[in-house]
Amino acid sequence: MRNKFTILALMAFFQITGTLAQQLEVSGTVTVATDGMTLPGVNVIVKGTSNGTVTNMEGYYSIEVDQDAVLIFSSLGFESQEQSVDGRDVIDVIMTEDLEGLDEVVVTALGISRDRKSLGYATQEVEGENFTLTNEQNVLGSLSGRVAGVQVTGASGSSMGGTQKIKIRGINSLSGGGEPLLVIDGTPISNANFAESSGADYGNLGQDINPNDIESVNVLKGPTASALYGIRGQYGVIMITTKDGAKGVEDTRVQLSSSVSIEVAGNFMPVQNMYGAGSSQSFNTLPNGDPYVAVGVDESWGPRMDGTPVRHAWSFYPQDPGYGELAPFSPHPDNIKNFYETGHNINNNISISGGSENTSYRLSVNDTRIEGVEPNTYLKRNNIGLNTSLDINDKITVNSNINYARNDAQRPQQGSEYGTGYFVQWFQRNIDMNKLENYQYPDGTFQHWNLRSPSSTTGEITDLSPLYWNNPYFEAYENTNNDRRDRFFGNIGVTYEVLPELELSANVRSDMYTQNIETRRGFGGTGIPGYTVGKYQNKEMNYELLAQYNKEFGDFSINGTLGGNIFDRRYSYVYQETEGGLTTPGFYNIEASIDRPTTESYLLRKQIRSGFAMASLGYLDTYFVEASIRNDNSSTLPEENNSYWYPSISGSMVFSEFTNWELLSFGKLRASYAQAGSDLSPYQTSNFYNVGTVYNNINTLTVPNSLPNPNILPAFAHSYEVGVDLRFFSNRLGLDVTYYEQRNIDQIIDLDISGATGYSSRILNAGEITNNGVELSLTGTPVKTDNFRWDATLNLNRNRSEVVELHPDIDVYQYGSTTYSSVNSYLNSYEGEPFGSLVGQAYQRDEATGQILLDANNMPLYTDATHNFGSVLPDLTGGFQNNIQFGNFNLAAMIDFQKGGQFFSRSKMLAVRTGQDPLTVATNSNGANVRDPLEEGGGVEVNGISAETGEEVNAFVDARSYYRNVVGRRIYEEWLYDASYIKLREVRLGYTFGSNIMERLPFEAVNLAFIARNPAMLWQNAPDGIDPSEISTGSQDISWYESGQLISVRSYGLNLNITF
């Protein structure tokens, strides 16, 4: 796109003018449909003549034409448009982008611009406007559904910029990792993540990119497209090109984009409102006979909430105005909902761009302020970006691209025993949230809901500190997580045109950040007060030399690249944590640690030196072939194995050049093969010991759990792909289909081994994992009239994975495990099966009938945690993108979907176990509530076969025992859900003001839009209250269980774009 602008700017020089009789002066402004920005360099030609003009930098044109002339507006990358003058003197035109421009130039690996039709592999581009449609907190989330084969799994909006995981073409790494490399204007940047699977989700670092700076994003899928990035590109590359100024004409453009949206919590899990806190249906009483709420019980198996006057938790606080008072024991159906606040997201961006004959620049400043739906959470982000380019002379150009990003956030904790994740898990249905809101009394003490039981002699609670759970407001205001990050990334480079066909360039690229994370556990809550502080610093440098050669010889075109790169990373951190409590209330500092604090200091260094060459040959602009080779030398591998080579080859043929089928406007066939090699993290090839606890003055060292391997080899990914790119009906319909296969061999993994070996895992070259699949991208313009146009893109990906081979002795790879109440579940990969099977406890079933086996008490029997429930990965993912242009209105809607995949929901399981789920108050076939005594017809109906007698059993069992100790605790089969969904992710309805209004305003263009993000889940198979598209387990690479999911956020707002 940057090249596009250069071309446009050059075209602005050509002022094609002419005069004719009976003429009228027509003028107007040309803008872009999607964002309302003015468009310079548009050719405006009078139909049937050679007369014409070009829009200026403000998108303005004026031309003298006949009253009945027809004007043709055309510009590279946009659909041409005809307008009859019909005597009008103002004709404003809104240009729609040509979604799949034929002569599109795409930016490929290393920032090399290539003609799209010459590529022998699939790439897919997303225009920059798509990243600012509705101001996603984490910019990478906007990729969801927009590119076939790219799956984005994200955290809820209440996470404040939480993790967005990106997978291209399935899981290519046994360890589940394998995230694509992020490259911004040729500079690889870190997408690291400081979050863990629970606690605050700090999100991935890719969110430091300012979405307003994005010109376009091009996704290179698989190693084919990215062999030139070596190791780090083996899982694909997300290439981001930022906006730039334009050389050639003295001009300055100022753009302002502002949006304000409100954020509201949505998608609450249904809960029952009949029974309150307790473990039996009768109240305990104080010595004076007053009944009281079972304050020590964090479950809702208690008495019916029938309004009986009782002593509530707050009534035991002498400092509470309601001390000693009775109040009705009644339901608070919205108690969870009441906790959440209305948040907001305010985003302002201003950019100044321009240039002169031999310079160009663009400066952009962004300020984002988000206040979350969880009380006392926020994210403030600032970005400054400066792109400059200077032609020193005809031969030498110097350019720089410098970005600064600053984040300052206070984020909520997620996960089952963190923050407010306990609401549906361990809670009392009778709690009045409004009562808890004033969580601190004037004397500084705190109000909690979960307390020790009152004394049966005095009727008082002497220890009013919380038992197991804090008041949620205490969590929000006293147990805070703060993180701050300052980051610089970008490059400085020089290009030297040695010959017209040979260009040399040298670049220094850098990405450096300092991340600070601070957590507090306040005085007056559960556990002991504490404080942790960590400072993490990363510096990644890339020194790059590149020679590019382009030449045409008759029917042949040659394109060659030779390059070298040194990657150098230095990462260090210091982390400290207090032990045994803090000495002084309110003093959060390591100095305040009562016992010897935990301290860690860490340094990591890594270097990769690479050389590579690539050549492509074109014939008749119809046949293309390209080959590359790369050599990497990694410092992390053993010296005898640390240098390795890998090639790629691809070819394409534009067969529409020699076929004569009219309907087909373009047709291309492509095929490719590529390899990519990979290494491992540092320090995994030699033995070391871990430092253990110090006992008095006795120091301990311990053998680590992961066994290093001095003989590790580099791993290789082999990828094959064939595809076809077809356009019909003058490009009104486009179809791009790719079949791909990727084999990852000698994968370096930390393979779990039997603990009886003395270790938990070993670094190994193990196995082979294959992925194959089909990607389909269908683009079209189903409706197109003079002032109505509907463009749509449908992306689909079907991926199948198989773990072909692991290790001669071990045929299961344990990716993850989670244990709750001594019950384990695992995410395993078995040889010969798809990646990522969920494994856990199932019902024991009668072999003949499939009926559930029951024990002597008629409770279901269950298996060990070895039952394989099948893969968690989806069968089909995709997105459906729509753009409707109607007069000056533009409507964009993004839908994404997934079919298949599954997850285990601990929230649902616990909601049932603790008596909060509506299931626990259901009416049974006797017409009685399941909680009623068995002798009164209550109980849960159980059907099955007695394991002892073999007889069929139909019986009623006590609901609390059934849900609490058996089904809601041990039988995971019951809590598995299909992850399929269809979600409306983004909607934007914009209006571009016409020039008749603009003339009276000091602006060039104004676009006002209503925006909605995440407004609705259109369909899902999983129960209400669990969003399968947001099952985030922090930084875990694969989401396979849900626990304490943050509440979903729906956001609605206005966006205003102004160009001066």
Partner 1 sequence: MKRFYIILFSSLFILSCNKFDDEINTNPNLPSEASGTQLIASAQLSLPGLSSSPKGAFMAQYLAETQYVGQSLYPQESTSFYSLYQSPLINLQTVIDSEDLNGNDGPVANQKAVAKILKAYFFWNITDRWGDVPYFDALQGGDNYTPVYDSQEEIYNDLFEELKEAGDMIVSGNINNDIVYGGDMSKWEKLANTVRMLMALRLSEVDPQKGSAEFNAAISAGVFESNSDNLVYQHLADANNQNYWFDQVVNQNREWWALTETLVEEMKPVNDPRLAVYGDPTRSTGEYIGLEFGVEEVTGTETEEFSLLGSDIYEQDAPVYLVTYAQVLFAMAEATERGWITGDVEEYYNMAIEVSIEQWTGTTEGVEDFLDNPEIAFDANNAIESISNQRWVHLYMFGYEAWSEWRRTGYPNDLVEPNGMAVPTRLSYPDNEAFNNEDNYYEAIERQFGGEDSIYGKVWWDQ
Instruction: Enumerate residues 484-503 that contact partner 1 by CB under 8 A.
Output: 498
Q: How far apart are the first and last CA of the chain?
A: 22
List the one residue from 579, 591, 936, 952 that touches partner 1 (CB under 8 A): 579
Please give the residues from 130 up to 149 whose contact with partner 1 meets the rule CB under 8 A. Answer: none
Identity of the residue, 25 or 639, whose beta carbon is nearer to partner 1 in the bound complex: 639
Residues 481 and 195: their CA atoms lie apart, in Å, by 11
Please give the residues from 361 up to 380 whose contact with partner 1 meets the rule CB under 8 A. Answer: none
**Position 887: which residue type?**
G
Tokens representing 103 are 């002569």
**Does position 758 bind partner 1 by CB under 8 A?**
yes
Residues 284 and 918: their CA atoms lie apart, in Å, by 25
Residues 662 and 645: their CA atoms lie apart, in Å, by 45
Residues 67 and 183: their CA atoms lie apart, in Å, by 51
Query: In angstroms, what CA-CA distances link 77 with 99, 217, 412, 556, 604?
Result: 8, 15, 44, 26, 46
**Does position 635 bind partner 1 by CB under 8 A?**
yes
**Does position 653 bind partner 1 by CB under 8 A?**
no
Residues 486 and 535: their CA atoms lie apart, in Å, by 11
Q: By CB under 8 A, which span of 105-113, 639-647, 923-931, 984-992 interacts with partner 1?
A: 639-647
Identity of the residue, 57 or 764, whose beta carbon is nearer to partner 1 in the bound complex: 764
Closest CA to 348 of 375, 323, 367, 325: 367
Q: By CB under 8 A, which span of 2-10, 512-520, 573-581, 740-748 interacts with partner 1?
A: 573-581
List the one residue from 20, 620, 691, 1054 that touches partner 1 (CB under 8 A): 691
In whole angstroms, the minimum distance from the beta carbon of 295 to partner 1 comes to: 11
List the one residue from 605, 661, 997, 1001 that touches partner 1 (CB under 8 A): 605
**Does position 757 bind partner 1 by CB under 8 A?**
yes
Which residues have C-beta within 8 Å of that of residue 943, sequence separation ≥ 6?
851, 852, 952, 953, 954
Residues 234 and 644: their CA atoms lie apart, in Å, by 14
- 230 within 8 A of 223, measured Cβ to Cβ: no
Tokens representing 329 are 């024991």
**Does position 594 bind partner 1 by CB under 8 A?**
yes
Identity of the residue, 581 or 870, whose beta carbon is nearer to partner 1 in the bound complex: 581
- 121 within 8 A of 737, measured Cβ to Cβ: no
683: left (phi over 0), alpha (psi -120 to 50) or beta: left
In whole angstroms, the minimum distance from the beta carbon of 545 to partner 1 comes to: 7
Q: By CB under 8 A, which span of 145-153, 248-256, 276-284, 1034-1042 interacts with partner 1?
A: 276-284
List the one residue from 467, 494, 625, 876 that touches partner 1 (CB under 8 A): 467
Q: Is 462 exposed, middle or buried (0-12, 13-18, 19+ CB in 10 A)?
A: exposed
List the one residue from 715, 812, 942, 1017 that touches partner 1 (CB under 8 A): 812
Residues 840 and 470: their CA atoms lie apart, in Å, by 31
Identity of the residue, 310 or 753, whose beta carbon is nearer to partner 1 in the bound complex: 753
In whole angstroms, the minimum distance from the beta carbon of 331 to partner 1 comes to: 23
- 517 within 8 A of 534, measured Cβ to Cβ: yes
Which residues have C-beta within 8 Å of that of residue 617, sequence separation ≥ 6?
556, 557, 558, 559, 624, 625, 626
What are phi and psi for residue 454, nearest 5 degrees?
Answer: -70, 155
Maximum Cα interatomic distance, the chain, rounded to a whole number of Å: 108
Identity of the residue, 482 or 814, whose beta carbon is nearer to partner 1 in the bound complex: 814
Please give the residues from 530 up to 559 whose contact with partner 1 meets the rule CB under 8 A. Answer: 545, 547
Closest CA to 360 of 11, 113, 6, 7: 6
**Does position 564 bind partner 1 by CB under 8 A?**
yes
Residues 133 and 131: their CA atoms lie apart, in Å, by 6
User: In the stretch 699-738, what mask flags binding to partner 1 with x, by CB under 8 A?
Assistant: xxxxxxx-x-x-----------------------------
Identity of the residue, 453 or 622, whose beta carbon is nearer to partner 1 in the bound complex: 453
Q: By CB under 8 A, which span of 86-94, 214-222, 326-334, 752-760 interacts with partner 1?
A: 752-760
- 256 within 8 A of 349, measured Cβ to Cβ: yes
List the one residue from 620, 663, 694, 783 that touches partner 1 (CB under 8 A): 694
List the one residue from 153, 193, 364, 565 that touches partner 1 (CB under 8 A): 565
**Does position 826 bind partner 1 by CB under 8 A?**
yes
Residues 940 and 945: their CA atoms lie apart, in Å, by 16
**Does position 949 bind partner 1 by CB under 8 A?**
no
Q: By CB under 8 A, which span of 552-560, 632-640, 722-730, 929-937 interacts with partner 1?
A: 632-640
Q: By CB under 8 A, which span of 92-100, 356-364, 432-440, 804-812 interacts with partner 1?
A: 804-812
Identity of the residue, 904 or 981, whose beta carbon is nearer to partner 1 in the bound complex: 904
- 39 within 8 A of 57, measured Cβ to Cβ: no
Identity of the residue, 437 or 501, whose beta carbon is nearer to partner 1 in the bound complex: 501
**Does position 942 bind partner 1 by CB under 8 A?**
no
List the one residue from 611, 937, 994, 1023 that touches partner 1 (CB under 8 A): 611
**Does position 935 bind partner 1 by CB under 8 A?**
no
Identity of the residue, 520 or 807, whose beta carbon is nearer to partner 1 in the bound complex: 807
**Does position 946 bind partner 1 by CB under 8 A?**
no
Residues 78 and 72: their CA atoms lie apart, in Å, by 12
Total count of residues recorded for the chain: 1060
Identity of the residue, 764 or 1058, whose beta carbon is nearer to partner 1 in the bound complex: 764
**Does position 240 bind partner 1 by CB under 8 A?**
no
Identity of the residue, 222 or 860, whose beta carbon is nearer to partner 1 in the bound complex: 860
**Does position 508 bind partner 1 by CB under 8 A?**
no
* Torsion angle, alpha carbons of 619, 624, 627, 628, to 10: 100
Identity of the residue, 135 or 510, whose beta carbon is nearer to partner 1 in the bound complex: 510
CA dihedral (185, 186, 191, 192) positive or negative? negative
List the one residue from 369, 452, 520, 535 that touches partner 1 (CB under 8 A): 452
Q: Is 763 exposed, middle or buried (0-12, 13-18, 19+ CB in 10 A)?
A: buried
Q: By CB under 8 A, which span of 106-114, 770-778, 814-822, 883-891 interacts with partner 1?
A: 814-822
**Does position 601 bind partner 1 by CB under 8 A?**
yes
The β-bridge relationship of strands 1041-1042 and 902-905 is parallel
**Does position 288 bind partner 1 by CB under 8 A?**
no
Residues 312 and 289: their CA atoms lie apart, in Å, by 14
Q: C-alpha angle with apex 833: 832 to 836, nearest 5 degrees? A: 135
Identity of the residue, 824 or 926, whose beta carbon is nearer to partner 1 in the bound complex: 824
**Does position 527 bind partner 1 by CB under 8 A?**
yes
Identity of the residue, 199 or 278, whose beta carbon is nearer to partner 1 in the bound complex: 278
Tokens representing 834 are 């798809």
In whole angstroms, the minimum distance from the beta carbon of 603 to partner 1 comes to: 5
Q: C-alpha angle with apex 913: 907 to 916, nearest 5 degrees? A: 75
The β-bridge relationship of strands 23-32 and 93-95 is parallel
User: In the stretch 838-877, what mask flags binding to partner 1 with x, by CB under 8 A?
Assistant: ------------------xx----x-xxx-----------
Identity of the residue, 687 or 925, whose beta carbon is nearer to partner 1 in the bound complex: 687
Identity of the residue, 18 or 832, whose beta carbon is nearer to partner 1 in the bound complex: 832
Q: By CB under 8 A, which span of 349-357, 597-605, 931-939, 988-996 interacts with partner 1?
A: 597-605
Identity of the residue, 252 or 690, whose beta carbon is nearer to partner 1 in the bound complex: 690
Closest CA to 374 of 476, 298, 269, 252: 476
Please give the residues from 379 up to 408 whose contact with partner 1 meets the rule CB under 8 A. Answer: none
